[in-house]
Structure 1
Amino acid sequence: MIICIGAGPGDVAYLTMRGAELIRNADVVAGFNAVVDVVQSLIPESAEVVLMGYRDQVEKLDIVAAAHHAGKRCVVVFMGDIHFSGFQYLERVERACGHAVETLPGISSAQILASRAKVCFDETTFITFHRRGDLEPFKRHLVHVLNDGRNAIVIPCPWDAARSFMPRHIAAYLLQQGVAPDHPTEVWENLTRSEAEWHGTLADCADQEFSDMSIMLIRTRAPMASQIEPTHKEGAWQPG
C-alpha cells in the first residue's frame, strides 16, 4: 500500500482522523522535513522515516517506491491538501511508483483563510504560484479573476530570488497590469500558529515584506450582495 495524505496547514489538529490512523499504522512515513515534523507525534517508533527536500526528492521517493513494491505500508505526507498545491509532488510520487496512487485529502491553508476572512468559495478563485514551471498563465488568470469581480486567494512562490513571487511581487505585477490599486488586500502568516495578519490595499502591499509561510487574499472591490431573502423581523441579526 502507498497513500498520499494531506497533513493540514502546519498543525496536527487539522489532520483528518483517517489520515492519523494511516500514519500510526505505517511501515514507512515520507515527506519534506517541515511536513513530517507536523505529524511526528503520530509516527510509530517502528516506522522508517524518509525525509527529503526539493533537491533530493526524486532520489528519496525512489526509496519509498522500493519499500512500497516490497509490500510495506507507505505514507507520503503533504502540507495542506494534495490537490491545492501538491499536485506536482503527487506526480513525482506516481512516477517513482510507476502507477497511480491513492490520495487522502486534507485541510488546506486556503480553506483556513476562507474561514478566518469569511469569504465564500463560490465567489472566490484559488490560485497557487507554489509550483515549478511557467507561472505566466497563472499570473494572467489572476488578472482576469480580479477584473471579473471575484475574490482571489493566492499562495505565493517563495523559492530563490530569481523566481520568487511573493505578495509584494504579486501586488506590483497586478498594478502593472492595470488592476485597481484600492482592492482590499490581506496577507496571513502561520495561519494555525501565531496568526499574523496584515490588512491594507493592493497598492500598500507592494511595499510589504512577508515570510515564506504566507497566503494572500485580494478582495473584490464590489462584493456580491446577499442572495437570501430579506428579513423584516425586528431585532433580527443582519450580516456584516
Structure 2
Amino acid sequence: MRSSSDAGSRPGKVDSAKEDIPERHGSRSPGTLKVIGLGPGNSDYLTPSARHALKEADVIVGYKGYIELIDTDILQDKNVISTGMRGEIERCLKAIDAAMAGKKTVVVSSGDPGIYGMAGLVMELLHEKNLLHKVEVEIIPGIPALSAAASLLGAPLMHDFAVVSLSDLLTPWEVIKKRLITALEADFVIVIYNPRSRKRNWQLSEALKLVIEYRGGAVPVGIVRNAARTDQQVSVVRADQVDAESIDMLTILFVGNSKTRQRGEFMVTPRGYLDKYGHR
C-alpha cells in the first residue's frame, strides 16, 4: 500500500452561519444559482471557474463535510448554510429560496456535481416548482473523485468502464446487483462508489463474490482512500485478497477487466494500441 500524509491540506472546520432565507419568493429580481464541484478535496484541484463562483457568492450551501474542504478565506463574509447527511432536499430548497431572493448562491458538491452530486436534485426541484425559467442556473463541473483516484493507480480506465454505487439508500439492492452483473458480463472495468458504511456493511462482500464468480479471484482491484486528501492511501490487490472490513465511504474501488494487469504498484488497462500496431 502506498500512502501519503501531504496529498492535500484540509482546511479547518468552519462554523456555519445559518441565516434564515425567505421561503416565499417575493417580487425581488432573482439572483443566480450555481452548482459547483469542489473536486476530490485538495484545493489545488478546484477549478478556476468553481473558485470564482465561490468568491462571488453571497450564499454558499452544502454538506458540512464538503464546506470544510473550502479555504476559510473564501468563506469569510459569506452566508454559509450547511446540513448533515440526508439533508440534501433541505439544502437545495434553501439554495433555491436564496437565489429567488436575489442572492448569488452556490451549492457545493464534492468531485463533479453531475456525478452522484447535487446538480440533478437542484434541477428536479426547480422543475417541480416551475422555476427553471425564473432563475439563472449554471452547473460548473469539477474533477471527479474517480479521475483523481484513477490517476493514483496509473491507468485503469483506458477502455470502456462502468460506475456503480453500492448505496441502496435510494436504489434497491436487486437493481444494483443486476447492474453489477451486467457490467461484469460485458467486461467493463468497474468503478465502485460508496462501497461500505457502518450501517451498510454487507453489500461490498456480496459485490466481491460476484466479481470473483464472473472474473476470477486473480483479477486486479485498485483501492484508493482519500484521493488527493490528507492520509491518501493507494493499493492494488487480487479480488480474493480485498479486505472488505477495511473499506469505508472514503474509498473507491476499481475492478479490472479481462485485459487489466497489475504493473508494479500500478494498475493498467490496455487501450489496444500495442496489440493493433505493435512497437519498434
Cα distance in 2 between the residues matched to 1:158 and 1:92: 23
Cα distance in 1 between the residues matched to 2:66 and 2:180: 28
Query: Unpaired segments of 5 or more residues in structure 1?
Result: 233-240
Distance change in 2, residues 1:160/1:94 (3 Å): farther
Using the TM superposition, give the Cα deviation of residue 45 of structure 1 relative to its aligned residue in structure 2, in angstroms. 2.1
Structure 1 contact 3–75 (Cα < 8 Å) conserved: yes
1:230 aligns with 2:259: no
Using the TM superposition, give the Cα deviation of residue 198 of structure 1 relative to its aligned residue in structure 2, in angstroms. 2.9
Distance change in 2, residues 1:196/1:65 (3 Å): same
The SS at the match of 2:106 is strand
Q: State how 1:31-70 maps to structure 2 within 5 Å.
A: 31-70=62-101
1:188 aligns with 2:217: no
Could you list the per-position Cα deviations for residues 188-209 of structure 1 after superposition, in whole angstroms to 9, with x for gaps in the alignment?
1011122212322212225542
Structure 2 counterpart of 1:75, one-letter code: V
Distance change in 2, residues 1:41/1:138 (3 Å): same
Structure 2 counterpart of 1:40, one-letter code: D
Task: Report runs of 4+ in structure 1 exceeding 6 Å deviation.
Answer: none
TM-score by length of 2: 0.72
Identical columns (%): 19
Cα distance in 1 between the residues matched to 2:75 and 2:234: 36
Using the TM superposition, give the Cα deviation of residue 214 of structure 1 relative to its aligned residue in structure 2, in angstroms. 0.1
Distance change in 2, residues 1:136/1:190 (3 Å): same
TM-score by length of 1: 0.83
For 1:201, the equivalent position in structure 2 comes to 238
The SS at the match of 2:41 is coil
Q: Choose the corresponding residue for 2:185, options 147, 153, 156.
A: 147
Distance change in 2, residues 1:4/1:42 (3 Å): farther
The alignment's C-alpha RMSD in Å is 2.5
1:114 aligns with 2:145: no
Q: Which structure is higher in helix share?
A: 1
Structure 1 contact 114–121 (Cα < 8 Å) conserved: no
Q: Choose the corresponding residue for 2:140, options 77, 80, 104.
A: 104
Distance change in 2, residues 1:56/1:85 (3 Å): closer
The SS at the match of 2:76 is coil
Bigger RCO of structures 1 and 2 (CA < 8 A, at least 6 apart): 2
Structure 1 contact 5–78 (Cα < 8 Å) conserved: yes
Query: Unpaired segments of 5 or more residues in structure 2?
Result: 1-31, 261-269
Q: How many residues are aligned here?
A: 228
Deviates more, 1:91-100 or 1:146-155: 91-100
